Amino acid sequence: MNLAAAAPAAVLALVAAAVAPRTLTGLMAASAAVIAALRPAPEPSPGGLEVWTLVAALALGLAASAFEAAAEATALSSRIRAGWTAAVAGLVWVATLIAVDGGRVLRWRYGMGAGERRLELPGAALVLGLALLVTLAGSLATAAHGLARAPEGYRAGRIGQSLLVLGAGLGALGVAFAAGQAFSRSPEGLAAGARDLAAMLLAVGVLVWALVRLIVATGTGTGTVSVDAVLRSDRILRLAAAAAMLAAATAGAEGWRADGTYATATMAGSASAALLGLVAVQPTRLGLARTALFVLGLLAALSRAA
């Protein structure tokens, strides 16, 4: 088993199940589990298990939970914001599709691995390419609806929402199709593309979550923001920032012990994520965007280690 990926996945699952149960944290735990299950175990690190990844996974789980709670609160307070959340989630899904496999989806190609062992999946490429186009159109239509401040039920909003639902469905189908085809044809290729699959699973999961929030907000009308929920989300975010800072310190100590210096690339990556945590907890504007950046920073630091 790939212990370097399995241990953070277990921590994320623990956070999702017991500490701060939220959909996003569960999705991240599932994505990390996909990498742990599919990717071959790397050569064991001479310094043993890297503890900083566990602390960073704890920070990620808490930060994702805080982000979801904050987004939920703002989405319930305004249908327009729920629409914006869905549009951004759609763009995240589009960006993920552009990033995976070196952007080949843009040329209607998708595959796993490289060189002689590369596995081409033309069927999955078609489905993922369609998902990209449909989701992009849906995000733009939803964003246009938001910018126009049009009333609920306006055509652009309805079309955008429908396209986003279709994009999410096609995306889920494409991911399942790619995994199924790769599993039957080349388990080695599947292992090589595990990180891409995990990223797509996470992104399409985020889109589905945002769409559910949008539909709930549309159905229930203007809700009220629970002050307790906001305070709780703020506390969890502070704990996440503290854990991220501790993860950076741990990475530094591990680098000093193993390599003789704390100035390692791992330490730089985790310190960068910790700084984003410090940024996220500042009581000023664009809180949700700063929290999203913090989550992305932690994801980037952990994915480099996996």
Partner 1 sequence: MKLLAWRGLAAACGLLLGAALHPALPAMLHPPPVTIAALALLLVTSLLAAARDAAGRLVGTGALVVALALGYDGLRGHRGLLALEVGQGSQSFEEEGPEGRSLGLRPLGFGAFLEHVDADGTVALRVENGPTIAVRPGRAASYGGFRLGASRRAGSGEPAALRLAVAGPQGSSVVEVRSGTPVEADGLQIAVEQYFPDFALDAKQQPYSRSSEPRNPAALLRVRRGSESWRVFVIRAMPGIHRPAGLDRVLSLTDVVTTEAVSLRVSREPAAAAALAGMALTALGLAWGARPA
**Minimum gap (Å) between residue 274 Cβ and partner 1:** 7
**Between 155 and 304, CB nearer to partner 1:** 304
Nearer to partner 1, 77 or 272 (CB): 272
Q: Give the nearest distance from C-beta 211 to partner 1 in angstroms.
A: 29
User: CA nearest 119: which of 71, 179, 164?
Assistant: 179
Query: Taking a C-beta distance cutoff of 8 angstroms, is the pair 192, 114 a contact?
Result: yes
1 vs 286, beta carbon nearer partner 1: 286
Pick between residue 22 and residue 109 the one whose CB is nearest to partner 1: 22
User: Torsion-angle region of residue 43: left (phi > 0), alpha (psi -120 to 50) or beta?
Assistant: beta
Of the chain, the end-to-end C-alpha distance in Å amounts to 12
Angstrom distances, CA of residue 169 to CA of 18, 84, 201: 30, 19, 12
Residue 43 or 153 with smaller CB distance to partner 1: 43
Helices then strands, each counted (H, E), the chain: 11, 2
Among 89, 71, 80, 139, CA closest to 288: 71
CB of 285 to partner 1, least distance (A): 7
Nearer to partner 1, 41 or 265 (CB): 265
**Position 22: which residue type?**
R
Task: Please say which residue, 82 or 301, places its beta carbon nearer to partner 1.
Answer: 301
Contact positions toward partner 1, by CB under 8 A? 45-48, 235-236, 238-239, 241-243, 245-246, 248-249, 252-253, 256-263, 265, 268-269, 271-279, 281-285, 290, 293, 297, 300, 304
Write down the least CB distance from residue 156 to partner 1, Å.
33
DSSP label of 112:
E
CB 105 within 8 A of CB 180: no
The CA R_g of the chain, rounded to the nearest whole Å, is 20
Rounded CA separation 88/82 (Å) = 10
| Closest separation in Å from C-beta 64 to partner 1 | 16
Greatest CA span in the chain, whole angstroms? 62
CB of 304 to partner 1, least distance (A): 8
The nearest distance, CB 154 to partner 1, in angstroms, is 34
